[in-house]
Amino acid sequence: MKKLISIFTFFFALLCFAACQKTDTKLLEEKSEYIIVHLGMSGDLQTKGIATNNLYGINVYYDPERDGNSNTHYAYGLFDNKEDMSITLLSGYTYKFECTLVKDGKTMLYCGQYGGNAFSGYAKPFQTNSSASTQLSNSFVYGTTYLSGITSGEATVKSISTGYVNQTMPSLQRYYGEIEGYTPVVGGTVVIPLKKTVFAARFIIDKVPEGQLTTECVIDSSSEILFSGLATNKLYDSGAILYSYPDVRACWLNEPTIPTTVNWEYTSSVFSQWNQSGVKDVTFKRNKLTTITISCVPDNASGGISLQEEAFGEDNNIFLYLNSDGVIVVGVDPNEEGGDD
């Protein structure tokens, strides 16, 4: 009989504990309130709050168990105006924000019917996990859908011949940043630190008196050809070409370098014994312009590669324009004096 009473007492205590737990959870939910907070950006880029051609893609996560692990999807949005970046959060939870910026994205990225998507909009890097294009709404969409490509450098850019093309390292100005552990407060602002996730390369192939001097730059990790060109009796200068990192989140976290191999070959049109070739390892770095100069003296059987590395400088001192091949080139700002970014 005593054993039966003990078992009953245990289950009664368990039921009371469970009821208390449910009551505590209910009380927490009842104490929570909806709070509107604003989003801001810091770091490598400072822009005005008016509508621009820039595109910001944002994912928001929260911790439904209130354990600080903000890994459950809460909302996403695509913006071109920072003044519209407001979101409604529930107090008592912590949140994580991911943001990528494509500068001049409305000009550079393809917007329209993409693949088998049901409706038109922006594709990569703003395509959602449901393989849908994203429309520019300047508002957040709440739920489990999210922008699946904002941590990748791949983008769907405009193409004159095919309408659009996917590129793993496009010539785009990309930025990325995260902030986590945010607890909403009334009148609060979430400031996301953005870092420029690009590098630049300039290839100068010196002229030769006869024959031709060819150069090819290959990315070690993917065997992708970054650059290929040649010079004859005229010097070839590619100009400074901008590239997005293939993994913008990894670039934001660790600033990894981009190891490449530059192969050059001189072919004489007079004496085959003057033919020569060479190989050099070249490493590109975040937010750095590396100039590679390839030269060759045929009759002296000598040739080589020289490197020069320099920072881009402040963002508002750099002028980028599209050349005839649709590639962003670093140049001199024609409105430098008194110009405004």
Which 3-state string (H, E, C) describes 17-34? Answer: HHHHHHHHHHHHHHHCCE
Residues 253 and 181 in one domain: no
Identify the pLDDT of residue 301.
56
User: Which range (124-133, 265-274, 322-331) has the least confidence?
Assistant: 322-331
Give the residue from 138, 171, 196 where a domain finishes. 196
236 in Cβ contact with 230 (< 8 Å): yes
Looking at the fold, whether 253 and 145 belong to one and the same domain comes out as no
Number of domains in the chain: 2
Is the model's pLDDT at 310 over the cut of 80?
no
Q: What would the DSSP string read from start to end of 288-317?
A: EEEEEEEEEEGGGTEEEEEEEEEE---GGG
* Structural element, H or E, at residue 14: helix 2-31
- Structure tokens that stand for 47 in this block: 């822009």
Q: Is residue 1 included in any domain, yes or no?
A: no
Could you tell me if 62 and 137 lie in one domain? yes
Yes or no: say if 197 and 244 are a contact pair by the CB < 8 Å rule.
yes
Answer yes or no: do 122 and 250 share one domain: no
Same structural domain for residues 284 and 204?
yes
Domain end (from 137, 163, 196) = 196
Distance of CA 225 to CAs 134, 209, 249, Å? 31, 27, 23
Phi and psi torsions of 2, nearest 5°: -60, -40
Tens of pLDDT along 113-145? 887 766 789 999 999 987 788 999 999 999 999
CA 104 to chain centre: 13
| DSSP label of 188 | -
> Which DSSP category does 275 fall into?
-
pLDDT digits (tens, 9 = 90+) for 4-41: 344 334 334 433 434 443 434 443 445 679 999 999 99
Residue 101, pLDDT > 80, answer yes
Residues 272 and 123 in one domain: no
Do 68 and 159 reside in the same domain of the chain? Answer: yes
Predicted local distance difference test score (pLDDT) of residue 311: 73
Q: Identify whether residues 261 and 327 lie together within a single domain.
A: yes
pLDDT digit string, tens, across residues 190-236: 999 999 999 999 999 999 989 999 999 999 999 999 999 999 999 99
Domain co-membership, 173 together with 58 = yes
Q: Quickly count: other Cβ atoms within 10 Å of residue 160's Cβ.
A: 6
Q: Which domain, by its residues, includes 235?
A: 198-331
- CATH code, domain with 323: 2.60.40
How does residue 305 score in pLDDT terms, banded at 50, 70 and 90? Answer: confident
* Residue 41 and residue 169 share a domain: yes
Residue after which a domain boundary falls, among 173, 196, 219:
196
Average pLDDT, rounded, for the chain: 82
Among the listed residues 42, 47, 40, the one whose alpha carbon sits nearest the alpha carbon of residue 193: 42
User: Taken in order 42, 44, 50, 55, is the CA torsion positive or negative?
Assistant: negative
Q: Does the pLDDT at position 332 exceed 90?
A: no
230 belongs to a structural domain: yes
Is residue 72 situated within a structural domain? yes
Q: Please tell me whether residues 50 and 102 are part of one structural domain.
A: yes
